[in-house]
Amino acid sequence: MSNFWQEISTQSGSALGRKKPILCIAPMADVTDAAFRYIIAKYSKLPYITYTEFVSADGLVLASEEGKKKLLKNLEYKEIEKPIVAQIFGSNPENIEKVAKLIVGLGFNGLDINMGCPDRVVEKQGAGAALIKNSKLAREIITAAKIGIKEVTKKLNKEEIPVSVKTRLGYNKDELEEWLPELLAENPAAVIIHARTRKEMSKVSARWERIKKAVEIRDKIKSKTFIIGNGDILSVKDAIQKCKETTADGAMIGRSILGNPWFFSDHIPDLKERLGVLSEHIELFEKKLGDLKSFAIMKKHFKVYLKNPQLKKLRLQLMETEGYKEALDLISRYKLPN
């Protein structure tokens, strides 16, 4: 699998069961972690592209050995999660180049650079959404990633992996017409556009009509880059419909996957199954990330896993738990209604 964006969208992709639109799981810090990604891969059948949570490129280069080890935990994955893309953030081209090499070595299918994150800590480093205000540096960063990939793949006799960029419509205002061509000039394999500006955060509805505009801009300059829309997708059906309306190559799904590892399957789990998979998810979270992350992170998923009036009492009790043992115990003792 070299350029999986191409493969998943063409004949060889159709052998996997689906052509366009390409569906992707959004990178979400403390949501699409190694435990949840594995659970999704196990219970969702459609081919889709997985993204990791974002990881600091500077951290991967400059942190202490202990710090690096922690960051690398965010980049652990299993084969069933493939194709999988590692998302990084940073503003130092040298470090981006080094990390691109590392990502190839770790066996990822693609590398994504975050140019949309509004987090102050990220922006303070000139990374994430701050790059929308600095297109020169944004372009240098894409180039640096490609150089790193080229060099290391040549050395290892491996195939090059594609670079994508995930961004927004603009910073304070919608500046798609100016911003997108800057990115396209560097020929990334895909640009994922969260259809809101940095200023809007997630407070307004995603403007999918601007994804349509993004496709027009791409087509006008005859670029081959895939345009992937992102924002407010509720279901696979919704994603397919939005891609049809906008002619986007694909859609990326964020918050709708929380607590719903069946998102990419036709299967509707019954209550017993929901509880079983939730327990499996909690156990895996503890095993993979328990020493690194707070158990409170798991609670983000409870609401949807247990979205049923019959499970309300259990849900409320689980929200009060303080650790995985207590939560697993509560679930195992719970008597399902007949």
Ligand X SMILES: Cc1cc2nc3c(=O)[nH]c(=O)nc-3n(C[C@H](O)[C@H](O)[C@H](O)COP(=O)(O)O)c2cc1C
Looking at the Cβ atoms of 233 and 331, the one nearer to ligand X is: 233
Nearest to residue 25, comparing CAs of 13, 36, 12, 14?
Answer: 36
Interface positions, 222-251, toward ligand X (CB under 6 A): 230-233
Q: How far is the CB of 180 from ligand X (least distance, A)?
A: 16
* 31 lies in the binding site for ligand X (CB under 6 A): yes
Q: How far is the CB of 206 from ligand X (least distance, A)?
A: 6
H or E segment to which residue 166 belongs:
strand 163-168
CB atoms within 10 A of CB 28: 20
Asked if residues 169 and 198 have their Cβ atoms less than 8 Å apart, the reply is no
Interface positions, 60-89, toward ligand X (CB under 6 A): 87
CA 238 to mean position of chain CA atoms: 18
Q: How far is the CB of 195 from ligand X (least distance, A)?
A: 9
* 48 lies in the binding site for ligand X (CB under 6 A): no
Q: Is 24 marked active-site?
A: no
Site pattern 182..201 for ligand X (x: CB under 6 A): ------------x-------
Contact residues for 117 (Cβ-Cβ < 8 A; gap 6+): 54, 89, 123, 127, 128, 129
Rounded Cα distance, 208 and 242, in Å: 7
Site pattern 89..118 for ligand X (x: CB under 6 A): -------------------------x-xx-
Q: How far is the CB of 16 from ligand X (least distance, A)?
A: 23
**To 5 degrees, how large is the angle CA 45–CA 49–CA 54?**
130
Site pattern 258..287 for ligand X (x: CB under 6 A): ------------------------------
**Each residue of 200-222: b (16+ CB within 10 Å) or e?**
beeeeebbbebbbbbbebbeeee
Q: In angstroms, what CA-CA distances link 163 with 5, 104, 114, 239?
A: 10, 11, 11, 23
Q: How far is the CB of 29 from ligand X (least distance, A)?
A: 4
Rounded Cα distance, 114 and 176, in Å: 16
Which position among 161, 253, 298, 306 is part of the footprint of ligand X (CB under 6 A)?
Answer: 253
Looking at the Cβ atoms of 72 and 328, the one nearer to ligand X is: 72
Which position among 42, 133, 255, 299 is part of the footprint of ligand X (CB under 6 A)?
Answer: 255
Binding site for ligand X (CB under 6 A): 26-29, 31, 53-54, 87, 114, 116-117, 166, 194, 230-233, 253-256
Report, as residue numbers or ranges, the catalytic residues.
117
